[in-house]
Each structure stands twice: as structure tokens, then as C-alpha cells.
Structure 1
Amino acid sequence: MKVVLRNLLLFLGLLASDWAFAEKIRIAIGTQDTTINCAAGGLLIRELQLLEKHLPHDGKYQNAEYDIQWHNFTSGAPLTNEMVAGKLDIGSMADFPGAFNIEAFRKAGKKSLFINVLSGSPAGSGNGVVVPKDSAVQSLAELKGKTISVPFASTAHGMLLRAVAQQGWNPEEDVNIITQAPEIAGSALLTHKVDAHADFVPFAELFPYRGFARKIYDGAQSNTPTFHGTLADADFAEKYPELVVAFLRAALEANQLLAAEPEKYSELIAKHTGIEAEVAYLFHGPLGVQTRDFTWKPEYRQAVKTAFETLKLLKRTSTDLDVEQYIDDRHLRTAFKQNGLDYDAKLKDYSPSPIANAVSGQPITDFKQAVQIWINGEPTVRNYASAVSAFAALNALQKAGKTARAVYLQDKLSGIKLLANDAWFVLEQNRLSAFLSKEQADAQADQQGGRVLDFAGAQTAFANPSALATAVR
């Protein structure tokens, strides 16, 4: 009799479970489309319908009907508000707003979890500070007493506070930090209403690309890890772990597509965001500004801890949290396994997205010397092993009537990817090295000898060697 009763209860439990999943299941996802390094965790999944591909339709989900909802935000703070209100189940944002998210959930008596990294930099690149194009300012040190705008509660806000502290400044007395969204900052820079603007992906690169700003500071100079990743409502993840895994499998597939054809998907990102494909490629192409790395490397765990420390500095929390309780890689490990990927191997891998052979067919071995040229009308980017060969080729291409959409090269000091028309160069004999700032280029020239050039000067140097005497110094 007991066996029959137990079996009956088991049957009723299974039946109740089936009934639950026979109903429509909402999967509400918050994205940041214009934060283009999040593309593999949002825009591409949505536009390529990759989540639908990976959602389960067997077992307890055999009768499930999915209601997939996508909501786009320009920053992490409003996305967090919707998550805490129960209107979103999953959302992507950076480490600093992610810490706000975790704290907001905690204050509401709930919990959110960081479930993966999407893109990041152990050194801190991806955030930056720009000044108006015609500003005399060449370094962060020259901004004392000036007005700097930044989106408050963003990862760029955290970077700016750390950078100010590294200068030995009091953020409330030595600089005037005001809140400003990136869509407002562009016009403020153009009209000189602010002396500088700090922002997250992609605005420290986008504004210079559009020609009205110059980047004078990159987050890599702070040597503080940063990333964008995805958070999930812990209750949703506990109730539907298979759906969280499906989302992560879709993100991993999107990441592989980006790696295989970065130009193609940079164009798709541009179509849906208005962020030029040339800027998207700066992040998603080989040797990009950040690596698309989903694994929870120690540096990214530390970034969450640093974010909470910054929250305490801002007096937004007084609680000491065990950050490890809010980072959950279980679903990610399952997604890696189901997609045939090795999580532990990737966890140990710090290599950037690899670059293909040069147009000459020779392998590129010194990544810091690599240069890429994206020619108008060509679907893929051309690779060169050195700035010397690239600039010679660029001059030849221009003489043949072709124009470059963008020229990319790597910063000699940090290795981060730069737009050539916003970089500075040091010509030493027949070797050309690129630098983010004139300050860095001047220091290199003083120490090693050589001549400092801007982009136009570098082009001229290889078109007409006798013109070197008139190059910028």
C-alpha cells in the first residue's frame, strides 16, 4: 500500500511539473545594443534567433511555450531597475553597474548572479577619456581643475574615480565631475561645455572616429581589470537552469560567429545600432581593444570586488559582501560542455583574437607591429606585419584611387588596438611605433631617439622621405 501511495504521489508530482511547463514561460532579456562589446550576449542572439535554436523542447520542457522578450537599454542602471522590478530575467552590463545590480537586488531581499563574462580586459581597456579635438590637453594630468563629464554609476565612472585617485587628486575638490550620458556628451564636447568626457564602450573610440574628439587616456593605463558580462535573477536561474544554459549556448555560438567573420557581423552591429562598423571591428576584430572571453578569470572576479570597493567609496553601500557568492559559473561550464568547448583550457588562455597572415602571405609574429587597413568596397580587412609596409601600401592604394575606411594598429606600450588617425607615432630609422598619446610618444622619442609624427606626418614620411624635416615634434 505504501509503495502504491508513493508511486501515486510521484506521478502527481511529475504531472504537476508537466502542467507548470505546459504554460508559457517568459524569458525577458535586457540588452545594451550600443555597448557593442555586449553583442554576443544580446544583439546577435536576437537578430540571428540563436536562443530559439538552443531552447529545450524535451523532458519537462516538451510542452513549453516560450515568450522571449527583448528590451534594449543605453546603460546598466535602468536595466537594473527593470530586473529588480521583476520585469527582466537576464541582463548584460559592466562590472561596476553589475555591482549596483547585485546590491539593488540584495536591498530588495532578492539575489542576482553574474553568470558569464562577455568581453573584457585584464588591463582595463574599453573605458577611456576624450577631449575636444582642438583641445590643447594631451594627458589626464592636465585636467586638474577642469570639468569632466561621465555617465554616473557606469564602469567608466569607476575608472575615472580610480584614475583621479592615481593622480593624487580629491575628486570633490580638484576636478569637477558631472553626470552626462554619452548622447549628450557628444554635443557638449563639440561646444566645449565640458573639458573632457569619460565613457565606456564604444564612445572613447567612437567620438574620435567621428572626428570631434581625441582620446587622451585609456583604462589600460590604470591597470585595473574591467569587463561586461551577464547577470540573471537567481530565482529564475534556480527554477529554469536549462534556459540559462540555453542562453549561454546561444551567446557562445554568437561569439564564434564574431570570431570567424568579424567584418560581416560588425556590419550587422552597425545596421542595428548606428555605431559605425569600423568602430565595431575595433573591438571584435583580431587583436581587438578587448578580448571576447566568457570565462571567469581571476582578474574578472577581482573586477567585481573592485567595483564593490568603489561602491563603498561612493557610500552607495556599507556592506562587506562575499563577491564569490554572486559569481556562478555552473551554467557556463555546462554550456561550454554542450557546445563541445573546453572551459578549463579557455580559463587559462589569455591570448587575444588571432590575426591572419599578412597580405604577403607571411605569418605575423610581432602583434604590436601589426597594422590592418579596411579599404572601401572590400569585404575583409587587409593585414600587414609592420607599420612601414602598411603605410607604403596605403600610399600605393590611395594613388590607385582607393580609400581606407579605417587603419588599425597596436599601441607599443599596452598593445591595445588604435585608430591610426587618432594615434601618435615615433619614427626610429626605418621603424614606426604607434602610441595612444603624444605624451607617450614624446617620452619614447626622448629616451630612444626618433621623430614624433601624427598620422598625416607618418603617411607623408613614407610618400616623400625628404618631408621628414617638417614632421611634427
Structure 2
Amino acid sequence: MLLRAALAGLVLASFTLSASAETIRVAIGTQDTTINCAAGGLLIRELGLLDKYLPHDGRYKDATYDVQWKNFTSGAPLTNEMVAGKLDFGAMADFPGAFNGVAFETAGKHSLFISVLSGSIKGSGNGIVVPSASSVQSLAELKGKTISVPFASTAHGMLLRAVAAEGWDPLKDVNIIAQPPEVAGSALQAGKIDAHADFVPFAELFPSRGFARKIFDGSQASAPTFHGALVDSDYARKYPEIVVAYLRASLEANRLLAAEPEKYSELIAKVTGVDAEVNYLFHGPLGVQTRDLSWKPEYRQAVGTAIDTLKLLKKADRGLDLKTFIDDQYIRAAFKASNLDYEAQLADYGQTPLKVKDAVSGQPISDFNHVAQIWVRGEPTVRSYASAEGAFAALNSLKQEGRSIRAVYAQASDSGIKLLADQAWFASDAKGRLSAFLLKGQAQQYATAQGGKVFDFTDATAQAVASR
């Protein structure tokens, strides 16, 4: 009897020890080359931010963590591994995120969209490019042409909306084919396709590397888009404190990006091979997208639109209840634990601000409609100028000094997004002041209204130097 009691006590003690000393898996799927997911994966991993926030008190007092990272080039295979129970978290865009929810439901499970990481309520981030030698200047010129796109991606949704806006039948008026970015890059260079639609960062990366030209920005489709983080709902229910810890790490990564965008653009480049100059387009001040972890109504709308479009594409045969699929309780808790105001962020639609002085005059820049910037090789921070004319005059001087230029940026006067200046078009007003535009047609329209002229980058630079 005593022996039996002793054995029972030993078994109970063993059970208590194993429960309190639990090894908890934290398996996170990332998309490193989708650079606007950096605050939800790459930076957390590379900077060891998750370890700072994983709980070690209460029920987690004696827990150990098995943190696993796995990188993917797209959302679909990441979703497959989440549904298979091999991953707990994943970062992806609105379209693959919606598909993630559907795939979980089909498998009799449930996933949660827990935060936004980066996005644009206007739709910037997705885009369409053509070969650099192409004469095409706008989407309207692509009727009857072949356009490739990663199927069922957020860029696919943008392309379909853009085609519909032209009044075209996507099955008859254009030849849309499936092609991932790594294949499309070669196809563009070989002239095998007329255009390619893609998500972050390829509509900027391909032009930056000189073999493509951007002729359509997602903001022209006026449809919100974003990338965000998801979690298996069973995991979240079991370990809510770990979900909050992951999101707190995301908030810190976001803060670091805002404070030193050049430094972390270089880190992202080192890990992914995506040029730092392109990373800065997204993560620098006044960037292509806004890093924002709050659930804006527009982003909730984007998920609903994605679900509807996936059904149209026959990639999903069921809907999702957005009220249960999008769950903001964890990001709200993360904001609170990090002493941040979620409601204030929810109401803030501003881009990451530019708080600098003009590199020439030394005066604070207050008008951001005509801002231009220069990243000089060897310099840790980007130089900012209150006007394109000032930047281009400085650019000429820097080149005369033999300085190497990494990139020149200009703010689009209509959409407000950051552009690679050597890919942009410029229009002057009656006073000769330059405004930047993505498309030649946009610049021409402005110049006609203002009584000015249209310039490409080379001519705009020459004009700025001549007027000094």
C-alpha cells in the first residue's frame, strides 16, 4: 500500500515537473524577399527580438522555447505548412492571407489574421512593369498583350481590377499568364513577355536594376493592400502570451526601421539580396507603403475583397467570417504592453514622417510635395532636399566631385509615393518648379494645366543646373 502511494506520488510529481518545464515550439514562416514583411520576420530573427519578449513568469516560469524559422518566397507554400501543423505563425499579403483562412477552414481548422505589418490604403506596393526598351507608357497600351503575374497573389487582384477599369475582358483582351517573379525577371530581359505585374518589391526592384520600367502603380487601382501576420487559432488559444510577445517584437522592429531606415535597409539587403536602395523606398520616410500594425477599416476591406476575388478565380469555394478571422485582441494587447496607444495609431493615416533639414540651406523641410533625396555611396544616411531642383543641382556637383551615387529619389506629386527619380517624369509649372510623376501622361497633364514642360530625369537635371 505504501509502495503504491509512493509510486502514485512519483508519477504526480513527474507530471507536474513536465508540465511546468514544457518545451514550447514557436515556429514562424517568413517571406524575407517580400521586404515589407521585415518587421514580422526577418528583423525579429536577425536581431533576436523575440527572445526579449517571450514570457518567463507564471505558467511559463520553467518553460523552454524551441524557436524555429523557415523562409518562403510566396504565401501558398507557407500556408500549406501552417495547415499541416508545421508552423504556428506566418507573414503574407491580403490575398494569400485570405487563402490561408480558407485553407484552414477547409481542413476543419481556423487561423487568425492578427496584425498588419505594412500596407497602403491607396494600393501602392503592387505594380506593373514593362521591359526597359518597350515603348509602352501606360496600361492602356497593353491591350492584346501578354502580362504575367504570380497567380492568386495580391498583384493578381490588382491586375484584374486594373483590367476591369479599362473595360477589358481579362479572358479575351489580354493574355494573363502565371509567372513567379524569379521567372518573370528573365522573361522581361529576354523580351518573352510584354509586361509583368507583381507585389513588393519587384515592381521597384526590376526597374532599379535597369531591365524594366514601371508603368502602373497599385494606387491607380485605388484598392487597399497590405502584408500582415497570421497564427493558428489553436496555438493562440493555448499560448496567447506568446502571440503578444511575437507582436511586441514586431512593434520594436517597426520602431527600429523608422529610426534608422538606411541601417536596416542595408541589413535587409544583406539577408535577401534585395538592393538597399529599394528597401529604403519602402522603409524610408514618405515611403511607398506605410508601416502600420493597426487594423485600419481599409485593410479589413482588403481581406474581404481578396476573398471575393479568390472565389472569382475559383481558388476558393467558400467565404470567411471577417469578424472571427481578423482578430485584433492580440495586437491591442501588444500595444498596451509596449506602452503604445493603439487607438491613436488606428486614427493615424500619415506616412512615416521626414524630419530633416535641407542638405543645402540647412532649413527644416516643411513642404513634402516636392522633396527629393540623394543616397551618396559611403554615406550612412540619405541627403534630403526641399525641391527636385535643389537636389538635381547638388547631384551635378556631387558627380563633378567624382562621388558615386547609389540612388536619387523624388516624391510623386499626385500619389505622394517615393519614386526612383531616374525612372520618373517631371513637369514644370509657369515658374519652372519641378513636380515628379510616375507616368509621362500624368506629367503631361500637369504641364498642360500649369503652362509648363515635361522632362525625363536627364533633361530635368539639366534644366535644374541651367536655372541655377
TM-score of the pair, normalised by structure 2: 0.95
- Whole-angstrom CA distance in 2 between matches of 1:464 and 1:447: 24
Are the equivalent residues in 1 in contact too, given 2:428–2:450 (CA < 8 A)? Answer: no
**2:115 alignment partner in structure 1:** 116
**2:375 alignment partner in structure 1:** 374
Alpha-carbon deviations, 1:270-304, whole Å to 9, x = none?
00000010000000000000000000010111110
Are the equivalent residues in 2 in contact too, given 1:77–1:153 (CA < 8 A)? Answer: no
1:103-142 counterparts in 2 under 5 A? 103-142=102-141
Are the equivalent residues in 2 in contact too, given 1:376–1:402 (CA < 8 A)? Answer: yes
- Whole-angstrom CA distance in 2 between matches of 1:307 and 1:402: 46
Are the equivalent residues in 2 in contact too, given 1:356–1:383 (CA < 8 A)? Answer: no
Q: CA deviation at 1:16?
A: 6.1
1:386-401 counterparts in 2 under 5 A? 386-401=387-402
**1:446 alignment partner in structure 2:** 448
Are the equivalent residues in 1 in contact too, given 2:390–2:464 (CA < 8 A)? Answer: no
**2:366 alignment partner in structure 1:** 365
- Whole-angstrom CA distance in 2 between matches of 1:18 and 1:213: 60
**1:298 alignment partner in structure 2:** 297
What letter is aligned with 2:238? K
Q: CA deviation at 1:459?
A: 1.0
1:49-448 counterparts in 2 under 5 A? 49-357=48-356, 358-359=358-359, 360-428=361-429, 429-448=431-450
Equivalent position SS for 2:285: coil
Alpha-carbon deviations, 1:129-188, whole Å to 9, x = none?
000001011000111110000011211111111111111111111111111111111110
What letter is aligned with 2:414? L
**Residue 32, structure 1, aligned to residue 34, structure 2:** no
Alpha-carbon deviations, 1:188-225, whole Å to 9, x = none?
00011000000000000000000000000000001100
Equivalent position SS for 2:151: coil
Are the equivalent residues in 1 in contact too, given 2:102–2:318 (CA < 8 A)? Answer: no
Equivalent position SS for 2:147: strand
Alpha-carbon deviations, 1:363-383, whole Å to 9, x = none?
222212111111111000111
Equivalent position SS for 2:114: strand
Are the equivalent residues in 1 in contact too, given 2:126–2:203 (CA < 8 A)? Answer: yes
- Whole-angstrom CA distance in 2 between matches of 1:227 and 1:17: 44
Q: CA deviation at 1:313?
A: 1.5
Unpaired stretches in structure 1, ≥5 consecutive residues: 1-11, 467-473
What letter is aligned with 1:31? T
- Whole-angstrom CA distance in 2 between matches of 1:352 and 1:367: 11
Alpha-carbon deviations, 1:226-254, whole Å to 9, x = none?
00000000000000000000100001001
Are the equivalent residues in 2 in contact too, given 1:92–1:229 (CA < 8 A)? Answer: yes
Q: CA deviation at 1:311?
A: 1.2
Instruction: Give the aligned CA root-mean-square deviation in angstroms.
Output: 1.6
- Whole-angstrom CA distance in 2 between matches of 1:383 and 1:26: 45
Alpha-carbon deviations, 1:386-438, whole Å to 9, x = none?
11111111112222221221111111111111000100001223200000011
Are the equivalent residues in 2 in contact too, given 1:369–1:387 (CA < 8 A)? Answer: yes
Q: CA deviation at 1:49?
A: 0.5
- Whole-angstrom CA distance in 2 between matches of 1:23 and 1:130: 51
Equivalent position SS for 2:135: coil
- Whole-angstrom CA distance in 1 between matches of 2:12 and 2:459: 75
- The number of equivalent residue pairs is 455
Are the equivalent residues in 2 in contact too, given 1:388–1:430 (CA < 8 A)? Answer: no
Paired-residue identity, %: 68
- Whole-angstrom CA distance in 1 between matches of 2:268 and 2:367: 29
**1:471 alignment partner in structure 2:** none
Q: CA deviation at 1:331?
A: 0.9
Q: For the structure 1 residues 62 and 138, does the alpha-carbon distance in structure 2 shift closer, same or farther, using more than 3 Å as the test?
A: same
Are the equivalent residues in 1 in contact too, given 2:102–2:319 (CA < 8 A)? Answer: no
Q: For the structure 1 residues 389 and 15, does the alpha-carbon distance in structure 2 shift closer, same or farther, using more than 3 Å as the test?
A: farther
Equivalent position SS for 1:70: strand
Q: Point out the more displaced range, 88-97 or 361-370.
A: 361-370
- Whole-angstrom CA distance in 2 between matches of 1:162 and 1:16: 57
Unpaired stretches in structure 2, ≥5 consecutive residues: 1-10
- Whole-angstrom CA distance in 2 between matches of 1:322 and 1:106: 11
- Whole-angstrom CA distance in 2 between matches of 1:51 and 1:174: 49
Are the equivalent residues in 1 in contact too, given 2:128–2:214 (CA < 8 A)? Answer: yes
Q: CA deviation at 1:322?
A: 2.1
Are the equivalent residues in 2 in contact too, given 1:17–1:60 (CA < 8 A)? Answer: no
**1:469 alignment partner in structure 2:** none
- Whole-angstrom CA distance in 1 between matches of 2:460 and 2:92: 38
Are the equivalent residues in 2 in contact too, given 1:102–1:111 (CA < 8 A)? Answer: yes
**2:8 alignment partner in structure 1:** none
- Whole-angstrom CA distance in 1 between matches of 2:328 and 2:406: 40
Q: CA deviation at 1:465?
A: 5.0
Q: CA deviation at 1:446?
A: 2.3
Are the equivalent residues in 2 in contact too, given 1:244–1:331 (CA < 8 A)? Answer: yes
Equivalent position SS for 1:393: helix
- Whole-angstrom CA distance in 1 between matches of 2:158 and 2:319: 21
Q: For the structure 1 residues 18 and 237, does the alpha-carbon distance in structure 2 shift closer, same or farther, using more than 3 Å as the test?
A: farther
Equivalent position SS for 1:368: coil
Q: For the structure 1 residues 395 and 25, does the alpha-carbon distance in structure 2 shift closer, same or farther, using more than 3 Å as the test?
A: same
What letter is aligned with 1:221? Q
- Whole-angstrom CA distance in 1 between matches of 2:426 and 2:401: 25
**2:464 alignment partner in structure 1:** 462
Equivalent position SS for 2:316: coil
Are the equivalent residues in 1 in contact too, given 2:373–2:391 (CA < 8 A)? Answer: yes
- Whole-angstrom CA distance in 2 between matches of 1:319 and 1:389: 55
What letter is aligned with 1:329? D
What letter is aligned with 2:444? D
- Whole-angstrom CA distance in 1 between matches of 2:449 and 2:312: 38
